[in-house]
A and B are shown apart, each in its own frame.
Chain A
């Protein structure tokens, strides 16, 4: 009896979780094909027909394509810069002993404990002073830095799993430090970089709080901000608002489904234990 009750509870719980996760998403998808009148009068039903005009309008009313391009640029370069700089640093930290190493590791780990919100005004000041306010390059540098603790952790854990003999034999063959790193270490570390890269890309793609204080106007804003600023523009045209929301969400879902394995292992690896 108890066993049966527990298993009913279990299925109810799973059903609830699935409904909560999928429900809002499916409802907005359905509504994105409706007219205003349909949305107001038939909020829960199917649309009369699957019209794509709301999507066309979303791109017309709002410069969504501009935001898209910005998000792609910031996502790609923010990830490449982060992986390149932290890949080098993580390699040295994982492999060599040197003076100030403890101090450096301590400082880097401290960055994990600083909530981004606390740095809003100081970062605004720094980026302004560097002449990077409202420029994509400003966002790229800030995101590369903001992803420092997680990338450093994932990459150095990965480097630690590579046997030292790999490099020793490279040195014996006369390869230089630089050549060993780029020709031997980087190629075998692809999975580590894949994991860190996906985490970093999602960070760049979804980031909101720095984007909102480091940009102004439409020139260098990214997709998450698009929704925030268009909220009022769409106030009277619900169908278009739903379409715009879907346009922002769909790429994240597609990327996630394609890279599911990397994302899941990345999250598991990104848990900073202790």
Chain B
């Protein structure tokens, strides 16, 4: 049967392989190849060895700030963000009267585009008419009203708040996993006299190790892409306060036309992501059997 089908197998795989080559393979080759060159729009790339990388690490404060911000955001996203999503999933899994409504509403900010979320926060935090400042003034603390996205003291925090609480994807994944835990486990624990809190702490959470690990990877790596909300709200400013690696790549490549240099940042971003994923897989022993 295999011999007879060989032609069909090729026929069925070929289009996907072509798509993979156009979108991923060619990009990767260009990325790595040109990261060792000096190359700007309209010019030919000139090989300069490791010079781009040396400059990145020794003499580029914008890059350093972008890398630090990206690192901090990955860290926050893979800890606090995942914790909020997990906690909410455990609460929803008790299936109290509001659970379906709360689950649906929690998905809204996760289902609309990042640009729209950015817009919502941009107007919410507007210094003249934004709801946040209006509430602050209403409470009588006019001193705390400010230009949240453009003030050095608050910009990083404000941008972080546009995604940190919205962990609905984590919640959905963990809810699905909790639903798969056999009812008999809860029953025997209850017969042994365990409280709900104890059941969650000692039975449910340990059984979720694998899926929590997956959520840490998904949430963390999503921060290696984040561009739309930042462009929408602060554009990376004030100064380079809210710059991250994707925004930095976008700026060096398409505004400064500094292609070779921008691609060396891309290589760094991929390396950073790979290390993060490998670390998480070891930390959560993903793939190994549960016991």
Contact = CB atoms under 8 A, between A and B. Distances in A.
A17 B102 contact: yes
Nearest to B247: A117
Given A85-B19, A177-B5, A115 B214 contact: no
Interface stretch (B54-62, B124-132, B147-155, B185-193): B124-132
B19 A118 contact: no
B270 A274 contact: no
A268 B172 contact: yes
A56 B158 CA distance: 32
Interface string B118-137: 11111110001111001100
Interface in A255-274: 256-257, 260, 263-264, 267-268, 271-274
Interface in B256-290: 259, 262-263, 266-267, 269-270, 273-274, 277, 281, 286-287
Contacts of B266: 117-122
Interface string A186-227: 000000000000000010011111001100000000011101
B250 A120 contact: yes
Interface string A125-149: 1100010000000000110111010
A241 B111 CA distance: 21
Nearest to B272: A115
A25 B112 CA distance: 11
A252 B249 contact: no
Nearest to A252: B112
Interface in A25-75: 25, 27-28, 31, 39-40, 43-44
A200 to B, nearest CB: 13
Contacts, number: 277
Nearest to A125: B30
A64 to B, nearest CB: 13
B227 A238 contact: no
Interface string B88-116: 10010000001001101111110111111
A104 interface: yes
Contacts of A267: 169, 172-173
Contact of A21 (B8, B91, B105, B225): B105
Given A44-B131, A177-B8, A231 B286 contact: no
B112 A249 contact: yes
A157 interface: no
Contact of B27 (A88, A123, A272): A123
A243 B20 CA distance: 39
B172 A264 contact: yes
A77 interface: no
Given A224-B116, A231-B232, A257-B104, A91 B287 contact: no
B111 A256 contact: yes
Nearest to B227: A209
A245 B120 contact: yes
A121 B253 contact: yes
B160 interface: no
Contacts of B19: 85, 141, 144-145, 148
A207 B113 CA distance: 7
B240 interface: no
Interface residues of A, number: 93
Interface in B1-43: 1-2, 5-6, 8-9, 12-13, 15-17, 19-20, 22-28, 30-31
Contacts of B6: 98
Contacts of B231: 208, 212, 228
Contact of A118 (B109, B173, B270, B287): B270
B254 interface: yes
B210 A274 contact: yes
Nearest to B228: A208
Nearest to A223: B113
Contacts of A44: 131, 134-135, 138
Contact of B173 (A10, A96, A248, A271): A271
Contact of B22 (A92, A97, A124, A141): A141
B16 to A, nearest CB: 4
27 contacts: A17-B88, A18-B105, A20-B166, A24-B120, A28-B120, A31-B123, A44-B131, A108-B20, A113-B274, A114-B28, A117-B266, A117-B269, A119-B24, A119-B266, A120-B266, A124-B254, A141-B22, A141-B23, A144-B19, A148-B20, A208-B227, A213-B250, A228-B228, A249-B112, A249-B116, A263-B111, A271-B214
Interface of B: 1-2, 5-6, 8-9, 12-13, 15-17, 19-20, 22-28, 30-31, 84, 87-88, 91, 98, 101-102, 104-109, 111-116, 118-124, 128-131, 134-135, 138, 165-166, 169, 172-173, 176, 197, 210-211, 214-215, 218, 221, 224-225, 227-228, 231-232, 245-246, 249-250, 253-254, 259, 262-263, 266-267, 269-270, 273-274, 277, 281, 286-287
